[in-house]
Amino acid sequence: MRALQIVEPMKCRVVEVPTPRPSRGEILVRMIASSICNQHELKCWRGEGYYWLRYPLPPGMPGHEGVGTVVERGEGVDKVDVGDVVALTGMGGPPLHAEYVVRREDAVVKVKCERVSPEYAAPLELYACVIAAIRKSGGVFGCRTVVSGLGPAGLVAVQVMRAAGAAHIVGIEPNPERRRKALECGADEVYHPESPEVERLKREGVEYVFEASGHPDSIRNSLKISRDKVVLFGYHEGEIPINTALWFQHDLTVYGSRALSGRGGGIENLRIAVDLYCRGAIDPSKLVTHRIR
Amino acid sequence: MRALQIVEPMKCRVVEVPTPRPSRGEILVRMIASSICNQHELKCWRGEGYYWLRYPLPPGMPGHEGVGTVVERGEGVDKVDVGDVVALTGMGGPPLHAEYVVRREDAVVKVKCERVSPEYAAPLELYACVIAAIRKSGGVFGCRTVVSGLGPAGLVAVQVMRAAGAAHIVGIEPNPERRRKALECGADEVYHPESPEVERLKREGVEYVFEASGHPDSIRNSLKISRDKVVLFGYHEGEIPINTALWFQHDLTVYGSRALSGRGGGIENLRIAVDLYCRGAIDPSKLVTHRIR
Amino acid sequence: MRALQIVEPMKCRVVEVPTPRPSRGEILVRMIASSICNQHELKCWRGEGYYWLRYPLPPGMPGHEGVGTVVERGEGVDKVDVGDVVALTGMGGPPLHAEYVVRREDAVVKVKCERVSPEYAAPLELYACVIAAIRKSGGVFGCRTVVSGLGPAGLVAVQVMRAAGAAHIVGIEPNPERRRKALECGADEVYHPESPEVERLKREGVEYVFEASGHPDSIRNSLKISRDKVVLFGYHEGEIPINTALWFQHDLTVYGSRALSGRGGGIENLRIAVDLYCRGAIDPSKLVTHRIR
Amino acid sequence: MRALQIVEPMKCRVVEVPTPRPSRGEILVRMIASSICNQHELKCWRGEGYYWLRYPLPPGMPGHEGVGTVVERGEGVDKVDVGDVVALTGMGGPPLHAEYVVRREDAVVKVKCERVSPEYAAPLELYACVIAAIRKSGGVFGCRTVVSGLGPAGLVAVQVMRAAGAAHIVGIEPNPERRRKALECGADEVYHPESPEVERLKREGVEYVFEASGHPDSIRNSLKISRDKVVLFGYHEGEIPINTALWFQHDLTVYGSRALSGRGGGIENLRIAVDLYCRGAIDPSKLVTHRIR
């Protein structure tokens, strides 16, 4: 089968590798689509940020968001059938930028595609990570909220928070195109981080802020705007100046989330993402900018 | 002003009483509409269930769900203006089946009626009670759920749970008209309590059951269907046979809720109901069966 | 090796069976002591309550609380050493009324016996079950509490709740000897269920009630006394008359707990029981009434 | 009556002021003792940190931890009697460094002094603040914990966490006298922040860290040591370099607490502190270094 291989930073090729076979409890999946996250995947592609990477990377890496069709079942598999469309994450098997992958049957979630297109199920892993963070922080039902940073994770957060019953969502982001996209995804208002509205938010406060960029200014703003909860979803390596007195002044609780491998994680979050997708409560197609075959 | 008075069980009349005046911190509200709950209100009307009631009831009683327009402000009021439409509950002032009522300004929630009709804000108190129960039980985001009993409270629960991101909602109810209504309100499936599907639910279990009828069979079914949480929202007076071993067998947590006066209660829940109504996430008009002038 | 076998209800003998050998990831444990719970174990002994039991029972059954010394390690074991004293439950291997048992290494907890006797670690499984229930219900730190039923589980609950920082503990129990024992275990007050003090408790309420007997009257009293949380730890099979209106009137949350196999369960609770035992915060020796060799 | 007045930074005198009289719902308290916190009080004394202070301060200020005897009751008071010893905070009345103060009756907690000395109830307000923070963070029952910084707040945290059932407590502090004191208060181990043991803690992690100094190094260490929860109780004004990637790497939740005025606050926490004191579960006498008459 063919697989994508990053041979050195900023350079990849398609290579021929043996097609895997499912062992006991595993299934063989023919990939429909895999998507590219702009955190982990772009670091691998650019060769930045992970000192421990050795190039060429293994074929298929780092693919960890995807969807495919079950084409073969190993012994003892009884929860999925040949022909089922399943959503995949990086857990329970090899990386996803390949024609075929194997997975443990309990590491996938069936997607019922009566009303939705299978290919847009590829980025549901990112939704699952956002869902894990939101559930860890107690949910957003009825909350007045801010999403700071409206890249892919921020747009996903807007969609998920809308589906989870947030009462009001304000998006903050310098890029006007992304702000426009956030309105499409369900934000009620969007502002540039240097607008007077953001100063007002800092003075008046909201109860829930989801930080989705990892940018130091966005992290600092999030702590200043919240009067209760902050989720630090964006990732920033290295120290940044933080006023820890805000924890006392704003009575804060600040949540991190190790995505699907942490305390609030697990396949249950992908199950929820798939359920929301199949009923049309979230729309991953809004995140797709390019298609590569 | 005129007010409705229940003079004896099953008999009411319109009486003339002095129009109240707002004291310090209070507002005077001209009622747009008040609604009738089928628990507390019908007991007062029928003279059943409350041994302590003395007829004739005070004018306006029991009205505890309503909406009106602010027409006068007492001293020191600064959060609402004359002309504001506000949602009302039984808290913070006299009963609502009257032309005018006073309320403390912090006991009402402003309704912005740009996109919605003010009159349908009347039953938002019931929504607030359901919201209080759902928040007390940890929310339903991503949960596979059952609503048992599809009278007004059950239909409200279906709408609220849909708005709060429930992954799947099954309604159980003997009355076919109510089952049909539940589908309109957002239920995914509806069944008669004696259907084989309900037996299947008992065997397979779901994580969250909202009991909204108070009927002994519905209460017992709810404990048998859940494998995690049950909310007992329906009210039944007197003892009924219950198998408490289900708490162990199904690892249950069973929540009661004292509506807006309990631990998870308060005006915050009405604020959430109003926010959801104003954005169209819930639809009280689906509950309205009759209009009385 | 020798093992105890219940050959028919109320009759047991010591039988000779092959000594087990540890597989990969397992350890062989020579038992120091196993204890007898008065729920599961006495049902097996009396032949009552479990319609599915077939006599003679397998040798060693139903032993599920015990302590022993590691005498051999299977391949790949690296968390425990030969000579370690370990606490055992029914999970991860065969029953415990035998000279030797095997267990997965991650199903045991090491007991450091510098200050405590190893044999009293046998009933720590029961403590772990109580700890699981108390943690599931949010803990008792600072709470004014009642323990209803002061058999072994109730006495364990008194000790654990004292160790967990309960502000006040009232025990309720008809048997005067058990009431005396509860005072020794850390209860502040103890009453007969028919005393006027218990009527006062029903009127005034406390925030947390731990029901530890399974007796219908104790279950009903628990629901009447609590104004917030009830843990139903005691087990009663069959329906009993319950007033579900108390959930509304007392704003209740009522928790069940599937012991170590449920949602709040797992080996972590045994780890906590062992930690508390080793520091002298709980005292299982108070539960020991007879020794059988 | 006499009151203490800080007339300028580092200078105080005793002044004569009118004795207050209790209004409706209030009581008059003759002070037994008031204590001095080393955060708020020392800032007022030194004239540092609060730009808004104007000297001379009002008589009695900043006293916000104390105990006294009820000597008179205003109209409508029915929860406390003349002669009751009551614990006081800064809430519900004037500052406490005075011979007499008035308080609303629901802002005090009765201290039953059968087994304990009334004077040591003075610092219970600090215990209440620590208790509020620990409850907000979900409690410490069964947790392996670290307290970083062993000044008064840290020693109080050690005592409270021991009373709340922490499984293991490690104290970290540069001052050897304070480390010794922490062992007396119930810590299991104590280390200098630069010891190899602290490096080991960073590598291996614990589930709960209580930061009680506000020192930047202690804050940073706390985030590095925890693998689940951190309470930021210590207060540091101004920005410090923080590695926010630790939230992801260590799956952190970091709690601040606005003491008794915040979300987890209120008089309930003082009630718990008094209950623990009266049963001997905490020992404020260990914090007293000087007595001033």
Query: Which residues, other chains included, contact D117 with Cβ-Cβ below 8 Å and sequence gap of 6+?
Result: D285
**pLDDT above 80 for D208:** yes
Q: How far is CA C140 from CA C144, C168, C265, D164, in A?
A: 8, 10, 17, 9
Q: What is the pLDDT of residue C272?
A: 97
Q: Averaged over B88-101, what is the pLDDT?
A: 92
Please, which chains are in contact with D (at least 3 CB pairs closer than 8 A)? A, C
Chain D residues within 8 A of C271 when measuring between CB atoms: 142, 167
Domain C126-256, CATH 1.20.1250.20 — does that match? no
Q: What is the pLDDT of residue B272?
A: 97
Spacing of C-alpha B99 from chain mean position: 22
CB contact under 8 A, A246 and D256: yes
User: Which chain C residue shows the shortest CA-CA distance from B243?
Assistant: C239
Instruction: Quickly state the pLDDT bin for C101 (edges 50, 70, 90).
Output: very high
Q: What is the pLDDT of residue A43?
A: 86
Contacts 24+ apart (CB under 8 A), D197-204: D198/D172, D198/D225, D201/D146, D201/D170, D201/D225
CB contact under 8 A, B141 and A165: yes
User: Which chain A residue shows the shortest CA-CA distance from B270?
Assistant: A142
Written as six digits, the tokens of A123 are 């980025």
Chain C residues within 8 A of D138 when measuring between CB atoms: 139
- The nearest CA of chain B is from the CA of A270 a distance in Å of 10
Separation CA C196–CA D182 (nearest Å): 45
Q: What is the pLDDT of residue D265?
A: 79
Mutate to test the interface with A, among B129, B136, B137, B141 (most CBs of A within 10 A): B141
Mutate to test the interface with A, among D43, D224, D251, D263 (most CBs of A within 10 A): D251
Chain A residues within 8 A of D43 when measuring between CB atoms: none
User: Which chain C residue shows the shortest CA-CA distance from D279?
Assistant: C167
Instruction: Quickly state the pLDDT bin for D237 (edges 50, 70, 90).
Output: confident
Which of D228, D236, D257 faces A244 most closely, judged by CB atoms?
Answer: D236
Query: Which residues, other chains included, contact C95 with Cβ-Cβ below 8 Å and sequence gap of 6+?
Result: C58, C59, C60, C61, C62, C63, C64, C101
Touch between chain C and chain D: 3 or more Cβ pairs under 8 Å: yes
Separation CA C158–CA C146 (nearest Å): 9
CB contact under 8 A, C238 and B243: yes
pLDDT digits (tens, 9 = 90+) for B224-254: 999 999 999 999 989 999 999 999 999 999 9
Tokens 């409560």, located at residue: A281
Mutate to test the interface with D, among C114, C141, C143 (most CBs of D within 10 A): C141
Q: What is the pLDDT of residue C225?
A: 98
Q: Averaged over D250-264, what is the pLDDT?
A: 89
Q: Which of A89, A70, A85 is CA-nearest to residue A26?
A: A70
**pLDDT above 90 for B102:** yes
Written as six digits, the tokens of C26 are 């397992």
Q: What is the pLDDT of residue C293?
A: 80
- Angle subtended at Cα A265 by Cα A259 and Cα A271, rounded to the nearest 5 degrees: 105
CB contact under 8 A, A254 and D249: no
Separation CA C29–CA C84 (nearest Å): 9
Counting residues of chain A whose pLDDT is more than 90, the rounded percentage is 84
Written as six digits, the tokens of C217 are 């009257």
Q: What is the pLDDT of residue B107?
A: 93
Q: Averaged over D241-246, what is the pLDDT?
A: 97
pLDDT digits (tens, 9 = 90+) for D23-62: 999 999 999 999 988 778 888 898 887 778 889 999 999 9
pLDDT digits (tens, 9 = 90+) for C119-168: 999 999 999 999 999 999 999 999 999 999 999 999 999 999 999 999 99
Which of D142, D167, D272 faces C142 most closely, judged by CB atoms?
Answer: D272
CB contact under 8 A, A239 and D242: yes
Q: What is the pLDDT of residue A53?
A: 84
Touch between chain D and chain B: 3 or more Cβ pairs under 8 Å: no
Which of D165, D167, D168 faces C165 most closely, judged by CB atoms?
Answer: D165
CB contact under 8 A, A256 and D238: no
Q: Averaged over D263-278, what is the pLDDT?
A: 92
- The nearest CA of chain D is from the CA of C141 a distance in Å of 6
Chain C residues within 8 A of B263 when measuring between CB atoms: 228, 251
Instruction: Quickly state the pLDDT bin for B115 (edges 50, 70, 90).
Output: confident
Chain A and chain B share a number of CB contacts under 8 A equal to 59
**pLDDT above 90 for C43:** no
- The nearest CA of chain C is from the CA of D98 a distance in Å of 31
**Sequence-ordered alpha helix ranges (H) in C102-215:** 124-136, 152-163, 176-185, 196-204
Q: Average model confidence (pLDDT) for chain C? A: 94
Q: Averaged over C269-287, what is the pLDDT?
A: 95
Q: What is the pLDDT of residue B90?
A: 87
Residues of D with CB under 8 A from a CB of C: 131, 134-135, 138-139, 141-142, 163-165, 167-168, 188, 268-269, 271-272, 275-276, 279, 281
Q: What is the pLDDT of residue A263?
A: 78
Domains C2-122 and C126-256 share a fold: no
Which of D219, D228, D257 faces A244 most closely, judged by CB atoms?
Answer: D219
- The nearest CA of chain D is from the CA of A282 a distance in Å of 25
**pLDDT above 80 for B262:** no
- The nearest CA of chain C is from the CA of B205 a distance in Å of 15
Tokens 């020798």, located at residue: C2
Q: What is the pLDDT of residue D107?
A: 93
Instruction: Quickly state the pLDDT bin for C91 (edges 50, 70, 90).
Output: confident
CATH topology of domain D2-122: Quinone Oxidoreductase; Chain A, domain 1 (3.90.180)
**pLDDT above 90 for B211:** yes
Chain D residues within 8 A of C167 when measuring between CB atoms: 271-272, 275-276, 279
**pLDDT above 80 for B286:** yes
Please, which chains are in contact with A (at least 3 CB pairs closer than 8 A)? B, D
| Residue B206: half-sphere exposure toward Cβ, Cα within 13 Å | 26
Q: What is the pLDDT of residue B278?
A: 95
Range with the poorest average pLDDT among A213-227, C88-102, D178-192, D257-271:
D257-271
Q: What is the pLDDT of residue C49?
A: 72
Instruction: Quickly state the pLDDT bin for B85 (edges 50, 70, 90).
Output: very high
Catalogue the E-assigned strands of chain A. Answer: 2-8, 11-16, 26-34, 65-73, 85-89, 100-104, 109-110, 144-148, 168-172, 189-191, 206-211, 226-232, 239-243, 253-255
pLDDT tens digits in sequence order for chain A, 293 residues long: 999 999 999 999 999 999 999 999 999 999 999 998 877 888 889 888 777 788 999 999 999 999 999 999 999 999 999 999 999 998 888 999 999 999 999 999 999 988 899 999 999 999 999 999 999 999 999 999 999 999 999 999 999 999 999 999 999 999 999 999 999 999 999 999 999 999 999 999 999 999 999 999 999 999 999 999 999 999 998 999 999 999 999 999 999 998 888 777 789 999 999 999 999 999 999 988 888 88
Residues of C with CB under 8 A from a CB of D: 131, 134-135, 138-139, 141-142, 163-165, 167-168, 188, 268-269, 271-272, 275-276, 279, 281
Nearest 5°: phi and psi at B30?
-90, 120
Chain C residues within 8 A of D164 when measuring between CB atoms: 141-142, 164-165
Q: What is the pLDDT of residue B264?
A: 75
Query: Which residues, other chains included, contact A268 with Cβ-Cβ below 8 Å and sequence gap of 6+?
Result: B142
CB contact under 8 A, C131 and D139: no
Instruction: Quickly state the pLDDT bin for B261 (edges 50, 70, 90).
Output: confident
Counting residues of chain B whose pLDDT is more than 90, the rounded percentage is 84
Separation CA A137–CA A255 (nearest Å): 6
- The nearest CA of chain D is from the CA of A254 a distance in Å of 5
**pLDDT above 90 for B91:** no
Q: Average model confidence (pLDDT) for chain D? A: 94
CB contact under 8 A, B254 and C247: yes
Chain A and chain D share a number of CB contacts under 8 A equal to 96
- The nearest CA of chain A is from the CA of B268 a distance in Å of 9
CB contact under 8 A, C131 and D142: yes
Which of C244, C251, C257 faces B240 most closely, judged by CB atoms?
Answer: C244
Mutate to test the interface with D, among A39, A219, A235, A248 (most CBs of D within 10 A): A248
**pLDDT above 80 for D288:** yes
Query: Which residues, other chains included, contact D92 with Cβ-Cβ below 8 Å and sequence gap of 6+?
Result: D103, D104, D106, D107, D108
Which of A240, A250, A263 faces D241 most closely, judged by CB atoms?
Answer: A240
Please, which chains are in contact with B (at least 3 CB pairs closer than 8 A)? A, C
Which of B141, B271, B279 faces A141 most closely, judged by CB atoms?
Answer: B141
Q: What is the pLDDT of residue D255?
A: 98
User: Which chain D residue shows the shortest CA-CA distance from A264?
Assistant: D251
Domain ranges for chain C: 2-122, 126-256
CB contact under 8 A, B165 and A281: yes
The string of DSSP codes covering A240-290 is EEEETHHHHHTT-EEE---GGGSTT-SHHHHHHHHHHHHTTSS-GGGG---
- The nearest CA of chain C is from the CA of D196 a distance in Å of 23
pLDDT digits (tens, 9 = 90+) for D80-98: 999 999 999 988 889 999 9
